[in-house]
Structure 1
Amino acid sequence: MTDSALPAALAEIRDEFLELPESERLQLLLEFSRELPDVPEEYEGHPELAERVAECQSPVYIIVDVAPDGTVAMHATAPPEAPTTRGFASILAQGITGLSADEVLAIPADFPQSIGLTRAVSPLRIAGMTGMLMRAKRQVAAKRTA
């Protein structure tokens, strides 16, 4: 994966994982799961405004806002009883929010494989994070042209 396309916030998160021994990376993922930002009030109780991530076994919903200046904000909901999935949603929400639409669209599709968790979590879970990223990028592309 080339670092040039990876925004600083996501590169930092990736490096945080890779600096840890493999045995401690799940703990960091659990910390991220506890830091998933709340969905803004205007989306609370309006699941029809969010998109379900079908690749996730748990009910995960994302919604991406693109401000008039092109700045992106990603919001996600994931149940507390699915901490791995919630951790991945949190990584993406924190890493994508504040980026420009172009930066989001340039995030390499293999980012989920790059954070050093492929042996710690099931391929299905990594596929779920990839699904979240692909949906976020698609929403950004759609909202940017709208």
Structure 2
Amino acid sequence: MTLTPALQQTVDDFHAMEEQDRLQLLLEFADELPALPPRYAEHPDLLERVAECQSPVFLFVEVDERVHVHATAPEEAPTTRGFASILAHGLEGASVEQALDVPSDFPRLLGLDRVVSPLRLRGMAGMLGRIQRQLRAKGSPL
């Protein structure tokens, strides 16, 4: 298993808490989802919808020398926003290789299985899968 340092820190933070407190930490991440840059906020057609999520989640990945994940999720869907925030923060600045090495079962590593529905965990896995698919489609920068 290979995680970016930021994702590993997030996993460690979740496991340092009692299981019943992990949902609160997820909700705190929801408040930290970065706003979309204006170039995407003004052109939502550039974002890809994550169909695996119950809530309307959209994302776009940029690659220069590093990975930059931009995502949006409704405020009334805090768990979904939390998952998007974890991925946006956890992959920010990673190399393409590091981002592609994140295992598809990453959502389960957070230890939220008994406090978040399997459907929501699949939504986060869907976000990660789409991020990795976009990275593969873009290839490495020249």
Task: Please give the per-residue CA displacement for 1:61-108, whole angstroms capped at 9, x wherever unaligned.
Answer: 0100001x2x00001000000000000000000001100001001111
2:81 to 67, 86, 89: 86
Flag structure 1 segments of 5+ consecutive residues without an equivalent. none
- Deviating beyond 2 angstroms after TM superposition, the runs of 4 or more aligned structure 1 residues are none
**Is 1:56 paired with 2:16?**
no
1:103 aligned residue (94, 98, 106): 98
Residue equivalent to 2:33: 36
User: What is the CA–CA distance in structure 1 between the aligned matches of 2:71 and 2:108, rounded to whole Å?
Assistant: 20
Percent identity, please.
56
TM-score under structure 2 normalisation? Answer: 0.96
**Letter of the structure 2 residue corresponding to residue 100 of structure 1:** S
SS at match of 1:37: coil
In structure 2, how many angstroms separate the alpha carbons of the residues matched to 1:18 and 1:145? 33
- 1:14 is aligned with what amino acid? V
Aligned CA RMSD, in angstroms, stands at: 1.0
Residue 145 of structure 1: how far off its partner (Å)? 5.3
Which residue of 135, 139, 142 maps to 2:134? 139
| Number of residues of Structure 1 aligned to a counterpart in Structure 2 | 141
